Amino acid sequence: MSLKEKVKDAINGQSETFKAISRYIGQHPELGHQEFEAAKTLTAELERQGFTVERGTLGMETAFIGTYTTAKPGPVAAFLCEYDALQDLGHACGHHLICSMSLAAAVGLKSVIDELGGTIRVYGTPAEETAGAKVTMAAAGLFDDCDFALMAHPYYTFERSGESLAMDAIRFEFHGKAAHAAASPYEGANALDGVLQLFNAVNALRQQTRSDTRIHGIIDNGGKAPNIIPDYASAKFYIRSASRAYTNELTAKVIRCAEGAALQTGTRLEAAPYELSYDELLTNETLSGLFTSNLLTNGIEPSEIETGKDHGSLDLANVSVRCPAIHPYVKITQERYLLHTPEFRDAAMTEQALDRMIFAAHMLAATAYDVIADPELLAAVKAEFAAKNNR
């Protein structure tokens, strides 16, 4: 038996365990930074599998890092777990599958890593849907010594690792002066007008932005009553583009739009982030090609694998600028169910989805094996990463 076949057998031999973990987390959805049962279940299994586990990484209660290091030096392979659910929808993004497939892939690779040499890390990353912990972990340098990082996302089709949008989340608060809207409106300073002028300015700005730009917002506080000039109003915006550099420019322009709106309306502005900022995903095409090659070798037809698309913003992007990374999509349902819907949630709990989760774990582990076992491939992965980060 080849070492690569041994990896596959190690996953298959414990597939019911991995399925049970996925099923349990799927049946007990927890919101971001509240994934106590999920983190407890995953860390307990990592310890049972011989990994050393650090809990509460960077002060985040539900974050963790599981590590297995061999006596023989070698590359550091990272597998990333997500396990937070969606408000009112549960696991409609399939994170119960993501965490289990990364866990299973790490266990599979561990069965041969002593012969190859190296380190396996499993990162438990809370709150992908809200305040992505990968951003905090990446900023703290926790991926800087990783040779590569892998994860895959469940979907209704196979899709190569593609792109994502860099994103800033800014809240704009306008402070005015209350007055009777009918008797003495001239005594007031209308904070809601500041918000409305901001929206008007942003809409005018769109004409002068690149086609990859996405600027969208809501009014989350528009006043208390129609007969009172609002002394406070606020709006939340997401500002996105295909690059961090251009997103920085856009955010500065939107803030200037808000400053102009405050000046026009005689109000005072406060602008600050309300969520973490995401970078753009830098897919490592060498890694991505290896993952796709493993799909083809294991019976997936080329026509079944779609070109990578932009699916919005990902906190994995902040990892991808620290070490080589990929984020492919793996088909877990025959129906075209979209993410973040009840239909996808239900499909992601079927036996077919759990089988596909095991298949995805094979692909992740096989890709990691290919890189670790071939120094030339590892060098190519790292050379591409260096080139992209020096662009």
CA-nearest of 67, 38, 60 to 134 is 60
Q: Which domains does the chain have, with CATH numbers?
A: 3-164+279-389 (3.40.630.10), 166-273 (3.30.70.360)
Enumerate the H helices of the chain as residue ranges: 3-13, 15-27, 36-48, 95-116, 133-139, 191-205, 244-265, 285-297, 316-320, 342-347, 351-373, 375-389
pLDDT value of position 389: 81
The per-residue pLDDT for 310 is: 75
Query: How far does the chain reach from its first CA to its final CA, in angstroms?
Result: 43
Contact assessment for residue 126 and residue 62, using Cβ atoms and an 8 Å cutoff:
yes
Q: Strand order of the sheet with strand 166-175? A: 214-221, 232-241, 166-175, 268-273
pLDDT given for residue 390 in this prediction? 73
How many Å apart are CA 72 and CA 9, to the nearest integer?
23
pLDDT by residue for the chain (391 residues), tens only, comes to: 699 999 999 999 999 999 999 999 999 999 999 999 999 999 999 999 999 999 999 999 999 999 999 999 999 999 999 999 999 999 999 999 999 999 999 999 999 999 999 999 999 999 999 889 999 999 999 999 999 999 999 999 999 999 999 999 999 999 999 999 999 999 999 999 999 999 999 999 999 999 999 999 999 999 999 999 999 999 999 999 999 999 999 999 999 999 999 999 999 999 999 999 999 999 999 999 999 999 999 999 999 999 987 778 999 999 999 999 999 999 999 999 999 999 999 999 999 999 999 999 999 999 999 999 999 999 999 999 999 887 5
